[in-house]
Amino acid sequence: MEDTVQAAITRALPELAGADPVVRRSEHADFQSNAALALAKPARRRPADLASALAAALQDQVPAALAGVSVSGPGFLNITLPDAVLWRQVAGRLAGPRLGVGTPHAGQRTLIDYSAPNIAKEMHVGHLRTTIIGDCLARVLGFLGAEVIRQNHLGDWGTQFGMLIQYLDEHPDSAWHHDQLAAGTSTVSALDALYRAARAAFDADPAFADRSRARVVALQAGDPPTVAVWRDIVAESELAFREIYDRLGVQLTPEDSAGESFYNPLLPGIVEELTDAGIAVASDGALCVFFDDIAGPDGSLVPLMVRKRDGGYGYDTTDLATIRYRIRDLKADRILYVVDARQALHFRMVFTAARRAAWLGDDVQVEHVAFGTVLGPDGRPFKTRSGETVKLMDLLNAAVDRARAVVADKATDLGDEELDRIAEQAGIGSVKYADLSTSRTKDYMFDVDRMVSFAGNTGVYLQYAHTRICSILRKAPADAVELDPAVSLHPAERALVLALDGFADTLTEVGRTLEPHRLCGYLFTLAKTFTDFYEACPVLTAENSAARGNRLALCSLTAQTLRQGLNLLGIAAPERL
């Protein structure tokens, strides 16, 4: 609708075409424009005079395009749209599946690096945000038309695998395969324990340490039996990650996995290219890339480590190979790294090095989509009581258990099976919503009780708002949803129409800022606006069938918008709770 107002202004003063007057939602009218204020200076006129002239010119468009125009303050234009225009907007959205949202990102190949857990280790609370935020951004940007490439940069390579494989070899009775384990025990938790045992043996027994080092060399040289065990470990770990992804409803698939090992064959070439270009230089036996402006807390320059003194490659070299591959081979236009804020320096160095190497030009946009830390009740990074990292599976179970109690309290007529299903949807949804609704770069406290509450800005509140509208719609005959644009709008209906109209702009903003909390905030306001509407305007018992048809149309569009919005957040929208 903002475009409608914008067009009316340009029609009124054609010499303004090309200038970009701002139109916003307003408390004083449907919309407010600062066109006169912005254009007074270049036009060498007083803002108030220009505003009156503009208002007079806009009067010509009443009543077809506009309902009212007035000047307020130093030269703002308050603009109200005719009721029929607003109703027709609702009808237009109801007619198509996209709810009025365009595809501004069409033609953009957008690569999103997210989740990236480490093989043979359990996913923990530290993987929650990257997984949830990354998945939400993939959904939103995809809906806005981008061609999304999801990439799971698994930590599947490194010297620790030599140690683990050697240990497994020497302890053939260790159970870690999913078919050897009791239900409810995951492969990665078994591997995690075996890895710890291997580490202890490595530290305690020099002979085992030597055999482990030899195993690393064998793995890197592609020794078939060693590689076979490594592959098995990777496959089993991925199976365990998949359980979490399925539970979270995360859209990553096995095809999206391109772990660190994938780039391993490219590393010598990367080093050679950077050395030949003089970008990587020898330093104390290692090869490094230095940056004039990047220093650590003690003031000494922090480099990217391209090759270690022992000749090995690490995380830095892999990320250099990765960025080149993503630009050159995958031909990404935009690359998003959804990774903890604590890696900001690493990515700044990787991006700068890629620019120097001319892999990364101005035609490609790279961004570190940083996020804050999940804190425990004590305000410190979330740990278990015994000081260990919190397993993601345990955290999800805790939320689902709390949700089951809350839902059972509210809906006592549910059978066990239905209660389980709803508790799962509400519990998982509440964890995701709590995360996404926090401004991305801030830390937040993991508080299960607050998360699963039916009151306040929570996932459960939104899911519940959606089910309430579904239940209204279920009680009306399908053909009763019929829109008559000639009916005049009640103020509460008007507020709801204008709120619904904000969906597309909200998504555009999320696509620009990569901040899902904007979508959460929008949906929460929409749900509250609906509640106000429903209190003021009876729907099923409306005064006549025209009013009822229009209100049902508003119910239907609100339900669809909430459903689509929740879907873009990756949250289920069940029909009943």
By CB under 6 A, name the binding residues for ligand ARG: 113, 116, 118, 153, 155, 319, 322, 337, 339
The residue among 236, 225, 153 whose CA lies nearest residue 194 is 236
Place of tokens 């078994």: 190
For ligand ARG, which is the closer residue by CB, 118 or 425? 118
For ligand ARG, which is the closer residue by CB, 339 or 557? 339
Encode burial over 505-520: b for 16+ CB neighbours within 10 A, e otherwise. Answer: ebbbebbeebbbbbbb
User: How far is it, in rounded angstroms, from Cα 153 to Cα 496?
Assistant: 43
Whether the Cβ atoms of residue 464 and residue 481 lie closer than 8 Å to each other? no
Q: CA-based angle 480:483:488, to the nearest 5?
A: 120
User: How far is it, in rounded angstroms, from Cα 401 to Cα 5?
Assistant: 49
Joined tokens for residue 470: 């579904």
Joined tokens for residue 343: 């890696």
Kindly tell me the sign of the dihedral angle through the C-alpha atoms of 355, 358, 359, 361.
Answer: positive
Whether the Cβ atoms of residue 122 and residue 192 lie closer than 8 Å to each other? yes
Minimum distance of ligand ARG from residue 265's CB (angstroms): 17
For ligand ARG, which is the closer residue by CB, 118 or 560? 118
Minimum distance of ligand ARG from residue 565's CB (angstroms): 28
For ligand ARG, which is the closer residue by CB, 54 or 339? 339
For ligand ARG, which is the closer residue by CB, 347 or 524? 347
How is the beta sheet containing 76-80 ordered, strand by strand?
23-25, 31-33, 76-80, 68-72
For ligand ARG, which is the closer residue by CB, 319 or 493? 319
Minimum distance of ligand ARG from residue 113's CB (angstroms): 5
- What is the SS3 string spanning 339-377? EEHHHHHHHHHHHHHHHHCCCCCCCCEEEEEEECCEECC
Whether the Cβ atoms of residue 1 and residue 89 lie closer than 8 Å to each other? yes
For ligand ARG, which is the closer residue by CB, 155 or 502? 155
Minimum distance of ligand ARG from residue 240's CB (angstroms): 15
For ligand ARG, which is the closer residue by CB, 40 or 369? 369
For ligand ARG, which is the closer residue by CB, 132 or 339? 339
Minimum distance of ligand ARG from residue 157's CB (angstroms): 10
Joined tokens for residue 217: 């060399």
Minimum distance of ligand ARG from residue 154's CB (angstroms): 7
Minimum distance of ligand ARG from residue 347's CB (angstroms): 8
Minimum distance of ligand ARG from residue 289's CB (angstroms): 16
Any bridge partners for residue 307, and if so which? 287
Minimum distance of ligand ARG from residue 370's CB (angstroms): 12
- Rounded to 10°, the helix 224-248/160-170 angle is 110
Using CB atoms, what's the residue nearest to ligand ARG? Answer: 116
Joined tokens for residue 51: 């505003």
What is the secondary structure of 411-432 as a DSSP string?
A: -TT--HHHHHHHHHHHHHHHHH
- Please give the helix or strand (H or E) that residue 444 lies within, else none: strand 444-445
Residue 152: HSE in the Cβ half-sphere, 13 Å Cα cutoff: 22
